[in-house]
């Protein structure tokens, strides 16, 4: 019987039927499913490491926390820079607190994402698309037809890579909260790139002068409660392709980072934000900064909501060549990576090819 069921399974048909509904994973939950569809079930070898330490709690390790209060005070700023240098060298990820974004702005952004996902289905369907060139779109798993297993999440993309977002294009449910949040997150991005430049021993404006703080886009993930969380993932293991990501998340656990060969839980902190290095900053820093592999597990409670702000450059930089920063190379420490043309770099990322840092390494 099992063999017959396996033979009868038509993955392509299942994917298309799911995609054609245009309501995503939340639509499955709304329909009252008890068992998750086969398209979401990870292979046995992956399931063995989704929760590798079920009876241990010592893999709940806190990543470095950088308090950004009193940033203009000389000794405090030096302390921040040193902490960021340690965090980006050893971890590739850190928490920031007292970052200047009001708590109500954070809460309203999360509420806006929730309202978008829980509004009338027809309004979501209107912007459901797999066209990655669209500035505003909603889907479930951009790589649905190319990945081996689907991830348990729905996503709203708000991209300013090709041009600034027109407020009228942002869904009404989260329009005002997104506009306000973007203003603050861009300002925080400028501050972070100054501190990261100083952590590299460069002028505060070095990374921004290269365009690293341009083109901030927002990716909003909505992870419904999962009836069988032990069988799937919310986001598979990956490193972010851009320069820097800033993550806002609600109170439900899910984010894990791979540190020294172990998956560690990164717990949400009220009012705090998670910052992680992307592959592109790893490359131009000539291995000074480390991008970090991470993933999202799912829960039987939810929804878990995250808002990821990605600094990945801008369309005006598409033909620009990025190299290891000259000041970070020497005869004793030569460039470790080939030159990167931004448009080719992101085309390679979208093609699901091998690790970007591995591909560009000399």
Strands (E), 13-125: 65-67, 93-97
Tens-digit pLDDT profile for residues 161-194:
666 778 899 999 999 999 999 999 999 999 999 9
Residues 6+ apart with CB under 8 A from 358: none
Terminal Cα-to-Cα distance of the chain (whole angstroms): 52
Burial of 289 (0-12, 13-18, 19+ CB in 10 A): buried
Task: List domains and CATH numbers for the chain.
Answer: 10-360 (2.60.120.330)
Q: Quick count: other Cβ atoms within 10 Å of Cβ 122?
A: 9
Quick one: CA dihedral 315, 317, 319, 325, positive or negative? negative
State how far the Cα of 59 lies from the Cα of 253, in Å rounded to an integer.
14
Which element (helix H / strand E) includes 294?
strand 294-296
Residue 256: C-alpha distances to residues 194, 263, 293 (Å)? 27, 6, 9
Tens-digit pLDDT profile for residues 194-222:
999 999 999 999 999 999 998 899 999 99
User: Would you state the pLDDT for residue 5?
Assistant: 47
0.95 surpassed by pTM? no
User: Would you state the pLDDT for residue 347?
Assistant: 84
User: Would you state the pLDDT for residue 53?
Assistant: 47
Select from 300, 185, 309 the least CA-distant residue to 254: 300
Is residue 56's pLDDT more than 60? no
Q: Note if the bond before 164 is cis, omega within 30 degrees.
A: no
Tens-digit pLDDT profile for residues 221-230:
999 999 999 9
235-238 and 244-249 beta bridge pairing: unpaired
Reported confidence tier of residue 51, pLDDT bands at 50, 70, 90: low
Phi, psi for 32 (deg, rounded to 5): 85, 25
Picking from 5-9, 132-136, 238-242, 319-323, which range would have the lowest pLDDT averaged per residue?
Answer: 5-9
């Amino acid at each position: 019987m099992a063999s017959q069921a396996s033979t009868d399974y038509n993955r392509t048909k299942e994917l298309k039927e799911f995609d054609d509904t245009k309501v995503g994973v939340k639509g499955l939950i709304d329909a009252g499913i008890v068992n998750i569809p086969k398209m979401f079930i990870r292979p046995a070898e992956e399931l063995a490491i989704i929760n590798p330490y079920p009876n241990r709690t010592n893999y709940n390790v806190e990543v470095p926390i950088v308090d950004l209060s009193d940033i203009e005070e000389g000794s405090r700023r030096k302390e921040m820079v040193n902490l960021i240098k340690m965090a980006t060298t050893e971890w590739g990820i850190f928490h920031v607190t007292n970052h200047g974004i009001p708590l109500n702005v954070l809460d309203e952004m999360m509420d806006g994402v929730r309202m978008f996902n829980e509004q009338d289905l027809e309004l979501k369907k209107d912007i459901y698309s797999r066209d990655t060139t669209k500035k505003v779109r909603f889907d479930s798993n951009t790589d649905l037809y190319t990945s081996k297993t689907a991830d348990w999440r729905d996503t709203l993309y708000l991209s300013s890579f090709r041009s600034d977002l027109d407020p009228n294009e942002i869904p009404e449910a989260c329009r005002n909260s997104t506009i306000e949040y973007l203003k603050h997150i861009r300002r925080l991005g400028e501050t972070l790139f100054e501190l990261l430049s100083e952590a590299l021993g460069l002028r505060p404006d070095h990374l921004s002068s290269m365009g690293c703080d341009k083109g901030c886009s927002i990716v909003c993930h909505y992870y419904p409660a999962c009836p069988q969380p032990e069988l799937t993932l919310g986001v598979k293991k990956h490193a972010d392709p851009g320069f820097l990501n800033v993550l806002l998340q609600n109170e439900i656990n899910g984010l894990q980072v791979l540190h020294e060969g172990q998956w560690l839980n990164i717990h949400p902190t009220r009012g705090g934000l998670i910052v992680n290095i992307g592959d592109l900053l790893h490359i131009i820093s000539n291995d000074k900064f480390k991008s970090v592999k991470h993933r999202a597990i799912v829960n039987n409670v939810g929804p878990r909501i995250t808002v990821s702000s990605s600094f990945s450059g801008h369309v005006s930089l598409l033909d620009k060549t990025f190299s290891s920063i000259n000041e970070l190379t020497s005869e004793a420490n030569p460039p470790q990576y080939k030159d990167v043309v931004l448009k080719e770099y992101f085309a390679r990322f979208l093609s699901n090819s091998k690790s970007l840092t591995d591909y560009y390494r000399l």
